[in-house]
Structure 1
Amino acid sequence: MKSLENFTAAFSSLAWGLPLLILLVGGGLYLLIRSQFLPFRYLGHAISVLRGKYDNPDDAGEISHFKALTTALSSTIGMGNIAGVALAISVGGPGAMFWMWVSAIVGMSTKYFTSTLAILYRGKDSNGDIQGGPMYFIIEGLGKNWKPLAILFSVFGMLGALPVVNVNQLKQAINDIILIPNGVEVSFGSNLIIALVLVVVTSIVILGGIQRISNWASKMVPSMVLLYFVLVLVILGAYIEEVPKYLSLIVTDAFAADFFPKDKPFLGGVLGALILHGIKRGAFSNEAGLGTAPMAHGAAKTAEPVREGLVAMLGPVIDTLIVCTLTALAILVTGVWQTTTDNGVSLTASAFEQALPYGQYLLMVCVFFFSVSSLLSYSYYGTKCLSFLIGADKKHYYNYFYILSIILAATTPFKAMVNFIDGVFAFMAIPTMIATILLAPKVLKESKRYFRSLKKTKS
């Protein structure tokens, strides 16, 4: 296990260097400036589209705008918001949250461009069914000569879709919140039982395809976000006098880096390491620029690519700017980030336990639904990648590989799983961002056409 941890740590470190930071953040800023801050100017219209005002059941696609967003959110609103934020703060201190905010603001623009492209350049799989996602907009938008980039995305997309972090942290939550406090000995056998239960639950849903996944996601995501939102607001209400202090500390520590380990410099200093750490955790949380969300949004029923881009850009707002910030404040105001050595979901559980009666059990409910919803969406992403590589008639084989990975994840150390996913996400971002930047003029042209026609319709 130690060798596995060392290998995945080296893999993550190799992937997350300066070139990727420039591509992910610099590329996102480039898109934001080129679009003249479009995501922020049309938030109201994006919400109207999400509410179904422009839905047309005759449009090509499989699912509604709302179901596309909830399917995408069910993969991002998960352990990235509970375990990912806790990991960001336990390693980097409060300032890490600020750089997660930066990744979300930049990510709004990235998601707008990538998801608009997912509809603008939809392709067809070997069955002749319409599909969207980076592998398709690379081929359809840039041409067949760019197929190696599409293959690169699909290979790492299959690995990035494996539910290893979600399962690992759900197992840790069950162990720390339910089993250990009640005197149950945690062992390989108990972890295996948890994995087998998850295998059964996941199999029932994912073998039903995108329609069943989107139906579950559209019901689970809004309710689980609401429950989590209410619980954290109660915690913040109990510690209301601490909230302004820690909001201020998030901003000041983002540039002071007082809580980041001094032995891990990047770009010549500790601040550079903190920025990289925050951006990495932000990518883990909202997945902007990685290419997962365009696969869900590419299945939306719409004839207007821009509409799906607008809906997609709401993802980082909900996911990182709202849900992750709430988690961070709950951890900070309760003080558990300084009084415990817990990490991941256990740190968030400590905050809930300290602030609420039976708080850790209420969090357990959220963790379960966050994890299960993520399990469902990621399986869809993986099957789409395998379908692109070897044909739609063989995509179901991925589900068997996916189900087996649940067992592996439940019996493997947390650090190894996080490092593995971090590294794989990096290699998904490279083809996605390169293609998006090259195709940005096409999105801008389509945006001008759409908003010009929208003005004519209103007048």
Structure 2
Amino acid sequence: MWGLPLIILLVGGGLFFLLYSRALPYRHFGHGFAILTGRYDNDSDKGTLSHFQALATALSGTLGLGNIAGVALAITAGGPGAVFWMWLTAIVGIATKFFTATAAVQFRGKDSLGQLQGGPMYVIREGLGKKWLWLAGFFAIAGLCGTQPVFQINQLVAMLRTSVAFPLNLASEQNHLLFDAGMGVLAALLVFSVISGSLPRVGKVTARLVPAMVVGYMLMTAGVLLTHASEIPAAFALIFNDAFTGQALAGGALGKVIQVGVSRGAFSNEAGIGTESMAHGAARTNEPVREGLVAMTGPVIDTLIVCTCTALAILITGVWQSGDGDGVTLTANAFSDTYGLWGPILLTVMVIFLSLSTITTFWYYGSKCLGFLIGAQHQHHYVWAYCLLIVLGSIGSVNMIFNFLIGMYAAMAIPTMVSALLLAPKIMDAARDYFARQKNTDNG
């Protein structure tokens, strides 16, 4: 799925948005952060979530094990150079997110219950017309499959197994099925208690959890970086070197490094994938461009800051060369190098909250995709299947699960990017109109 055509669509599409807009989004980060403060919030506008809640909900789907385990898996599969290509997806992803999130509000549509919804399937239906309805259905099917909770819960249980179960003799390397399943059931109950309150409750929970967990995780990685500060320049040099040679560790050919970096970058920040557009499409605003400006901060926070810190922690501690562990376990080894036994424990706390917040957000995405396919009046049944998937994911194989989800992300990118490219002129018309009005307001 992640062959050259899709990489061209995702990265090339982002470059097109950057050039076509003359880097317009990049020049308005200040205004985007002003919107996040609530300065432009209006309770009478259409939508469900405030701008900040919409961003927090979108980030809860990206800030999580994609940053902690996904980066580790990228380095394991593609070598340090994969990190460079993750950065590239984030840089062009700023423009992509601006266009896709603006479209998510600009082309909102009503579901079968008459409620206003956002997301690529509604963008396609409302913006491109009925002849493109098959593409909207394609996204909904891929989105339903790609937003399963199995990877998040799998890596959460792996972390709990390593840092809690083994030290306390609650499980062993040979016998941990009961522990894994028990943690899966407990997680399913916790998630059910949140998602039973629907989107407003999810928005409130993520708005509180995400900022706190990001700050906590950044403080942890800062400790690792400070204790190995002299090795940071060498780590950056390794990333840039390997990005164009692809010879380190399992990187192999240059094409493999690019493929891994772009796919893991998309898994991390979701720019061009379309899932986060469902959260941004629920923003309470009558100005689509404002939500586009809010959304474009996501790749900066997610990939350029958080993922970079994770990657540097793994590289400067040297754990990536040991061959011992992958995914979240590899990141835990990096923290153990600095914090000893406290490293995995502190990381476990972060993983618990970040993964559970992601799982609750993915339920929202999946239920909206199902509602589009079979009718919103039936989407509430998805909660039972979703909770079952949480339990099943806790005992599955991480490689099988991750490869399946990465494939579904590739499938989601096709309708999301195609629709955004086709609607780019209308999105830019809205952007020019908004900034012209905003300039008049500021001047007068």
TM over 0.5: yes
1:452 paired residue number? 436
- Partner Cα separation in structure 1 for residue 221 and residue 176 of structure 2: 32
The one-letter amino acid of 2:247's match is: D
Q: Is residue 156 from structure 1 mapped to residue 145 from structure 2 by the alignment?
A: no
What does 1:338-417 align with in structure 2 at a 5 Å threshold?
338-357=321-340, 358-417=342-401
2:129 paired residue number? 143
What does 1:56-67 align with in structure 2 at a 5 Å threshold?
56-67=42-53
* 3-state SS in 2 of match to 1:395: helix
Contact 1:260 1:274 in 2 (8 A): no
Contact 2:249 2:321 in 1 (8 A): no
The CA deviation at 1:188 is 1.7
1:4 paired residue number? none
2:303 paired residue number? 320
The one-letter amino acid of 1:401's match is: A
* 3-state SS in 2 of match to 1:42: helix
* 3-state SS in 2 of match to 1:55: coil
- Partner Cα separation in structure 2 for residue 166 and residue 196 of structure 1: 14
Deviations 1:146-198 (A, max 9, x none): 10000000011111111111011011111112212333324221111011001
1:225 paired residue number? 214
1:84 paired residue number? 70
Deviations 1:362-400 (A, max 9, x none): 000001111000011000001111111111111111111
- Partner Cα separation in structure 2 for residue 178 and residue 66 of structure 1: 35
Correspondent of 2:402 among 394, 397, 418 = 418
The CA deviation at 1:340 is 3.7
- Partner Cα separation in structure 1 for residue 276 and residue 329 of structure 2: 28
* 3-state SS in 1 of match to 2:5: helix
- Partner Cα separation in structure 1 for residue 346 and residue 243 of structure 2: 31
Of 357-366 and 316-325, more deviation after overlay is shown by 357-366
Where do 5+ consecutive residues of structure 2 fail to align? none
- Partner Cα separation in structure 1 for residue 316 and residue 164 of structure 2: 24
1:336 paired residue number? 319
- Partner Cα separation in structure 2 for residue 261 and residue 385 of structure 1: 36
Of 162-171 and 242-251, more deviation after overlay is shown by 242-251
Deviations 1:345-373 (A, max 9, x none): 00000011110141110000001111000
The one-letter amino acid of 1:119's match is: V
Aligned-pair Cα RMSD in Å: 1.0
The one-letter amino acid of 1:441's match is: P
What does 1:40-55 align with in structure 2 at a 5 Å threshold?
40-55=26-41
Count of residues paired in the alignment: 439
What does 1:272-351 align with in structure 2 at a 5 Å threshold?
272-351=255-334
- Partner Cα separation in structure 2 for residue 280 and residue 201 of structure 1: 30
What does 1:233-244 align with in structure 2 at a 5 Å threshold?
233-244=222-233
Q: Which runs of 4+ in 1 moved over 4 A?
A: none
The one-letter amino acid of 1:69's match is: L
Deviations 1:293-342 (A, max 9, x none): 11000000101000000000101000000000000111111111112421
- Partner Cα separation in structure 1 for residue 316 and residue 176 of structure 2: 33
Contact 2:67 2:306 in 1 (8 A): yes
- Partner Cα separation in structure 2 for residue 51 and residue 335 of structure 1: 40
- Partner Cα separation in structure 2 for residue 313 and residue 329 of structure 1: 24
Deviations 1:262-308 (A, max 9, x none): 7x6xxxxx111101110011011011111011100000010100000
Correspondent of 1:100 among 86, 103, 112 = 86
- Partner Cα separation in structure 2 for residue 345 and residue 148 of structure 1: 37
Contact 1:24 1:289 in 2 (8 A): yes
- Partner Cα separation in structure 2 for residue 150 and residue 137 of structure 1: 8
Equivalent pairs: percent with the same residue?
50
* 3-state SS in 2 of match to 1:330: helix
- Partner Cα separation in structure 2 for residue 300 and residue 236 of structure 1: 36
Q: Is residue 118 from structure 1 mapped to residue 118 from structure 2 by the alignment?
A: no
1:70 paired residue number? 56
The CA deviation at 1:260 is 4.9
Correspondent of 2:168 among 177, 182, 185 = 182
The CA deviation at 1:22 is 1.2
Q: Is residue 171 from structure 1 mapped to residue 157 from structure 2 by the alignment?
A: yes
2:238 paired residue number? 249
The CA deviation at 1:217 is 0.2
The CA deviation at 1:247 is 1.5
Contact 1:177 1:349 in 2 (8 A): no
Deviations 1:62-98 (A, max 9, x none): 0100000000000100110000001111222211111
Of 178-187 and 446-455, more deviation after overlay is shown by 178-187
**TM-score calculated relative to the size of structure 1:** 0.94
What does 1:426-445 align with in structure 2 at a 5 Å threshold?
426-445=410-429
The one-letter amino acid of 2:386's match is: Y
- Partner Cα separation in structure 2 for residue 383 and residue 335 of structure 1: 41
The one-letter amino acid of 1:18's match is: L
* 3-state SS in 2 of match to 1:24: helix
Where do 5+ consecutive residues of structure 1 fail to align? 1-14, 265-269
